[in-house]
Structure 1
């Protein structure tokens, strides 16, 4: 899917440029001298007072003071208007005292007779030195702050958003000299996607090889796939393998509450990439900024996300292919992306990363089991066969849950039973003991699950029975597990018809044994009705309706299905025909299930007794009870490890879903 572009001019491989050195702001240069000057002035003012030695001072009562005056021991006195007085004694000591207001002229006459030098002091002096400094700081401080603010604003005038508090700076994480530890060895499987992305990395390493053939690197590579398939992991592996700078950023980090911030951060991101060219830019969850812009109903296109997308489109068009900048992006919602973003010249390649195949699941499990001790009974190929439809993240969780199960039993070695319990924990929920059920409920669950297993074992095109249990787990009271022998691209009508019968096998057993149904078949009926509706509406498997299809809405990469279309694309008569055909398919499946159960009533009873005794029965025992050979890989069928099911576009995990009760 790559497109041709202009042939770059001959050039030698460019080396990563060192980013310019960041200079300190100008105000930092004069901040230190100003602080030093203020400190020097304060020291100069306070030092004289500190240097003056103060003689010892004595506090006298008024009576003691009069006695000292009468004995001619007082040399001087300074009288304050408040009545406080201080002075010097003949021995050189200072003294303090308080003169009452009633002393009057008699005290002055007494002091005059004793030859005391009397001085009248003015009212209290002005504020202290520290209060003066604080006052000047309060007055001058706001002007200094305003001066600094206007200086910063003036420096960022060319880029208003980027100049204020660094809001417009890109939040990209740059891997320049230190690479992530993840490599392509940590990404099992996906040979095709890895080869395409490796080709891009190889172009940045040795552009002259492609230049000689007239080839240029694609501007962008978009990775598309369901959640958990390893798109971000693959990008980290590219960063670990590449010998060029790698800039990683999330799509949501471009959008903030300020208008214009997203566009400014896009500009800053590509400016950083140009400084470090050749480089790789990775945008994770690009649908956060790459959604479709307003259509014909939008009167004004001034939305912040649209501005950010417009800037991204402009930047991807603006750089020269010879510079060596490649944009990697990942999303699981390609249907919401703007068509202008997907056109050639922007994202030239779209790499689909599907759910892993059987062989890839086994390889992924091997990666996630590194550092874990596996028992001799653990076969990762068997574990992989029991996890159809699992993504890489699901498999990582499976290996971790298996290790947790081993720790619960005080073991360090993982057994096959640990993986089996971990799979049930992920699909169904925590397994409870059988004592949560009443005796009659336990018997009813055994009958119900025996019906599922019996019909599945007697249906030629149904997936083999792997295990039957009546131990509650999550919201299910019992489970019949079916695991496919091969992974299919397509599902035949006979396979789907057998699937309907298996889903209704539990209800058929209840009708045969108890003569009535129960609420235990509610989930089975919902699954069977959904499958029958798809057979009629989407797959064209109804003779009455004919070869027409009315698919549901929603994204195929989010697990299939989605919400119902807002407007029904068919008439009322067509809806009535669909309802009639769905009912017909379900009734035929129920009649067939009841016939199978009635004709094998003895095998059903023995299976019920076996479940009540052991609570869990292996699939091989089920086939032995009904007298049918356990299915093996059919002759002429493809090997079990070559293709992956495209279940999202057809039926989500038809054969992997456990049959639930309750």
Structure 2
């Protein structure tokens, strides 16, 4: 409305100026000149006011203004004007228009002020009453079918998940089609997956694709300080959905609402959260279940949800949104790079290969960090080096200059990383070397990166054994070239020990312990390693056997690495010298130094197996071997090597 009001004011101003410019000019005459013009019959009429002011019109059409002395404004003047055929008018004196406006302002201003204060107080009181009386109202946001924002085209990958969710949307659009086949609409669809995989984005795409109302609410919005508010808001949410049925209700982070209830006979009748959960259970599939309403929920904590919420009839479907595969990462990167200028050397397939374990949010952050790196160099075009810099920044931290290391430390880090790279290049089943650097980043002093040619879903014993040797390659290089170990291998030792424990305790790869498995606990969707076993389900003798086998595996891997490096000690020294000189070397340079052919690309589908937990903590397709930043400092004890993402 503001542009319209400004336009109207401008139009009125223009019309006023036009009228003023079209009016004849007003002439001010002295009293003597006025009498002369009257005697010459040039005055057409006159209007006399009691204060002596006189106005009128001349015979030429112009208006005039003059002042008649009060002592001379008698009958003689009137007779003279009548003799000159002047039309005489009389007008009582009145205040000016400005004074009239001021008078009205003084009269109306107190009244307007009182009305404004009254309305303000009334609105404040009304909002307070509504805040108390409307505390049980649902805080759901309603998206109607006329306002789509995101569609399935904006969600790259996850075709299976999109098909399952789109089927629910199609059921609400065409219920008769499914009713003729005897199909019943699912009551709820639960999307489960790690953080950042796009569960909420899929829900927004459903809101854009569905031709039905979409109600979105967060699970934490049902929590309030007043007793019974959560259950009231659940009732109000479903009441609003029934008015708009068929409709979709989306509850984000449902674990804040549907957590597992207490058991063991505890007195929980006054537990506010459980009352809210009970109301949700009854609304979804209780005595009076909602018809034509599908509940769509998302969580990354499915292990804490109440079993009654997960049974058929409530959440009939559980759609797992896993971390994206190589092809899906490529498609996601293409979406996030659509508005960016990429150089010719940027290959999104290579970038996708270098980012296994990245979620959709991580890939969006990667593309943004690459753009920031380009802007930092005063460029608008993003290059492949910008993506490498962004990936290192996300995985390792900010890159430091090489001047933070002493010359002796720089040589030791170069030997350490050269050992990792040589063992990886000489091991036939290990992942190929992609890059070796001794530039410090974050809490690491150097990094050896390995990128496989294909994504692995199944890991053989030979691959795991060589992976142990690669992880201990840095320590082995220190023993061969420097004659002693250092604190820089602390992180490698921890990772190698963890992998060996998994091989013995979970994968059954120990001939002494046999084919038994004691998996480590923890949720697979939290992105963490999980909690340690609270109570060991095996005897102390079994634990001793596990410790013995773990030590054997790690010791044999170290001996294997030392043997390879002693056989190629000259190449080790050359690679360390190159690292000291250039600080960063790519993978092909390592293979050229060894005189071996880099691994060729394997055909897709060489390993076919269902998705399972990776045998190592880091993503199997992208492994770094950083040199820890440990070492005595200011008389302190040697620090352990720092873990990296």
2:317, 2:387 → 1: CA distance? 38
Equivalent residue in structure 2 for 1:270, among 220, 238, 249: 238
Please tell me whether residue 484 in structure 1 is matched to residue 452 in structure 2. yes
1:56-455 matched pairs, under 5 angstroms: 164-176=132-144, 179-318=147-286, 323-455=291-423
Q: 2:619 aligns to what?
A: 653
Partners of 2:491 and 2:465 lie apart in 1 by: 18
Question: Does residue 534 of structure 1 match 2:496?
Answer: no
Equivalent residue number for residue 520 of structure 1? 488
Tell me what 2:537 maps to. Answer: 569
**SS of equivalent residue, structure 2 residue 525:** helix
Structure 1 length-normalised TM: 0.74
Distance 1:347 1:552 in 2: 28
Does residue 1:632 correspond to 2:600, yes or no?
A: yes
Deviations 1:107-128 (A, max 9, x none): xxxxxxxxxxxxxxxxxxxxxx
Alignment correspondent of 2:13: none
| Distance 1:214-1:236 versus aligned 2 partners, 3 A rule | same
Partner of 1:72: none
Once the two structures are superposed, residues 158-182 of structure 1 have per-residue CA deviations (whole angstroms, 9 ceiling, x without a partner) of: xxxx993411111111112553421
1:615 aligns with 2:583: yes
Equivalent-residue separation in structure 2 for 1:252 and 1:570 (angstroms): 41
Equivalent residue pairs, number: 506
Which residue does the alignment assign to 1:119? none
In the alignment, the residues of structure 2 paired with residue 393 and residue 163 of structure 1 have an alpha-carbon distance, to the nearest angstrom, of 37
**Distance 1:297-1:567 versus aligned 2 partners, 3 A rule:** farther
Give yes or no for contact 1:279–1:325 (8 Å, CA) kept in 2: yes
Identify which range, 289-298 or 406-415, moves more after superposition.
Answer: 289-298
Cα distance in 2, alignment partners of residues 650 and 317 from structure 1:
42
Conserved 8 A contact 2:473-2:558:
yes
- 1:114 corresponds in structure 2 to none
Residue-by-residue CA offset, 1:500-555 (whole Å, 9 max, x unaligned): 10000000000001110000001001111111111111111111111111111110
8 Å Cα contact 2:614-2:620 kept in structure 1: no
* Cα offset, 1:189, TM superposition: 0.5
Q: SS of the counterpart of 2:259?
A: coil
**Distance change in 2, residues 1:179/1:403 (3 Å):** same
Post-superposition offset of 1:654 = 3.4
Aligned residue number for residue 51 of structure 1 = none
Q: In the aligned structure 1, how far is the partner of 2:461 from the partner of 2:186?
A: 43
Does the 8 A contact of 1:451 with 1:604 survive in 2? yes
| Structure 1 residue aligned with 2:636 | none
Q: List runs of 5+ in structure 1 lacking aligned partners.
A: 1-140, 154-161
Give the superposition deviation at 1:301.
3.9
* Aligned equivalents of 2:373, 2:601: Cα separation in 1: 31
- Structure 2 distance, partners of 1:232, 1:241, is 14
Report Cα offsets for 1:559-596 as digits up to 9, x if no partner.
25211122222221111111111111110000001001
Aligned-pair CA distance for 1:652 = 4.1
Does the residue aligned with 2:490 lie in a helix, a strand or coil? helix
Distance 1:643 1:431, change over 3 A: farther
CA-CA distance at 1:207 after TM superposition: 1.1
Task: Give the 3-state SS of the residue equivalent to 1:558 in structure 2.
Answer: coil
Return the TM-score normalized by structure 2: 0.76
SS in 2 for 1:164: helix
Which range moves more in the overlay, 646-655 or 234-243? 646-655
Q: Which runs of 5+ in 2 are unaligned?
A: 1-117, 629-645
C-alpha distance in structure 2 between counterparts of 1:613 and 1:297, whole Å: 70
Q: Deviations over 1:30-59 (max 9, x none)?
A: xxxxxxxxxxxxxxxxxxxxxxxxxxxxxx
Distance in 2, Cα, partners of 1:301 & 1:504: 57
Q: Which of 546, 557, 560 is residue 589 of structure 1 equivalent to?
A: 557
Give the secondary structure class of the aligned counterpart of 1:295.
coil
| Structure 2 contact 155–201 (Cα < 8 Å) conserved | yes
Shift of 1:321: 7.5
For the Cα contact (< 8 Å) 2:499–2:615, is it kept in 1? no
Counterpart of 2:577 in 1: which secondary structure?
A: helix
Change (3 A) 1:402 1:647: farther
Is the CA contact (8 Å cut-off) linking 1:406 and 1:414 kept in structure 2?
A: yes
Q: Secondary structure at the match of 1:610?
A: helix
